[in-house]
Amino acid sequence: MINPTILSGTNADDAQMVFTLCINDITTLLVALGTHDEALKALSVSNDLINSGSPNYSSVRAVHAPNPGFILTQLMKLKPNPDMKKIDWSKIGDYAVLSVSNKMNYIGDAFSNKDFRNNEDGKINYLVLQAQSVDDQVL
């Protein structure tokens, strides 16, 4: 079983260090942002899909950022997928989950809390595909 990486919710330096290690690993990341219901559902769905045995998730890992403000500067430095809707970084708490590509460290896409509700499996699949396709586009 592959467990999610849980960033510190109380120590910013530790959260940033662990997130840097995750970014530097060659995996597609699904980053659940916060401790609200939608972020916890995103983490749960991501973890279930990663452990489903599907080859589509063999290089995908889940990361939980209980306090997304701790990694906000790092997230803002990632390049956005040119096709995605712009993230309002001043409202990071309004987002449930985002994906990060495994080769070029692009943000594949993100879902706000309100947009993540319903069909969560399909939305996690979409995030993974967006992250993987943005790498293919820029290579």
Distance CA 23, CA 19 (A): 6
Average pLDDT (39-68) is: 96
- CATH number at 5-138: 3.40.30
Q: Against a cut of 0.75, is the pTM above it?
A: yes
Structural element, H or E, at residue 72? helix 72-77
The predicted pLDDT at position 86 comes to 94
Q: Where are the domains of the chain?
A: 5-138
CA distances from 38 to 29, 97, 101, 104 (A): 17, 8, 22, 27
Share of the chain above pLDDT 90, in %: 89
For 74-110, how does the pLDDT look when each residue is reduced to its tens digit (9 = 90+)? 999 999 998 899 999 999 999 999 999 988 889 999 9
Share of the chain above pLDDT 70, in %: 99
For 22-39, how does the pLDDT look when each residue is reduced to its tens digit (9 = 90+)? 999 999 999 999 999 999
Residue 139 has pLDDT above 70, yes or no: no
The predicted pLDDT at position 27 comes to 93
**Residue 105: left if φ>0, alpha if ψ -120 to 50, beta else—which one?**
left
Which residue is associated with the tokens 């460290």? 105
Average pLDDT across the chain, whole number: 94
pLDDT band at 7 (very low <50, low <70, confident <90, very high): very high
